[in-house]
Structures are given as C-alpha cells and as structure tokens.
C-alpha cells in the first residue's frame, strides 16, 4: 500500500513539471518561509525531503546546484543551509 501511494505522489510531481532537484528546492524554500528563517538545518532538510520520497544524494545534488547559483550558502562542515537575501 505504501508503495502505491508513493507512485501516486511521484506521478503528481512529474505531472506538475517539477524535477526532483526543483521540488527539493521548493520544499526547503517553503520551510524557510514557514519558519520565517533564512536557515534550514541539514538534518531537518533531510527529514523533510525523505518524507517526500527523495534521497540524501538528491538533497546533496540540490544543495550544490543552488549554491552554485548563489541562492544559498552551505556550511562546509555541517551542510546547514543559509538562504542568501536577494
């Protein structure tokens, strides 16, 4: 039953046009907005995205991609996320 639900959620994401990296970014951005903070701890981010069916490797790929775009900064040892105020 759980896998059936997962496949439904995956189909919804695909239909909405969001790839995994963009969806993870949206999850993290929404969490920062929800908490009125510019920071999201890595462990919390991993927990959030895992509940949506994403892997740690996908999270790390997202972190690298958006850091290269100067959307956020990643702490070098903890991997905590700090959104850059633009």
Alpha-carbon distance 62 to 70, whole Å?
12
Give pLDDT tens digits along the chain (86 positions).
444 444 545 555 544 557 999 999 999 999 999 999 999 999 999 999 999 999 999 999 999 999 999 999 999 999 999 999 85
Sign of the torsion formed by the C-alpha atoms of 5, 44, 66 and 71? positive
User: Dihedral through CA 74, CA 58, CA 51, CA 85, nearest 10?
Assistant: 30
Q: Count of CB atoms within 10 A of residue 61's CB?
A: 15
Which pTM was predicted? 0.77
């Amino acid at each position: 039953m759980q896998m059936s639900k997962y496949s439904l959620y995956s189909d919804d994401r695909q239909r909405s046009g969001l790839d995994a990296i963009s969806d993870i970014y949206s999850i993290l951005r929404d969490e920062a907005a929800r908490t009125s903070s510019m920071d999201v701890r890595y462990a919390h981010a991993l927990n959030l995205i895992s509940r949506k069916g994403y892997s740690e490797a996908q999270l790390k790929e997202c972190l690298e991609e958006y850091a290269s775009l100067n959307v956020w900064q990643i702490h070098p040892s903890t991997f905590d996320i700090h959104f850059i105020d633009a």
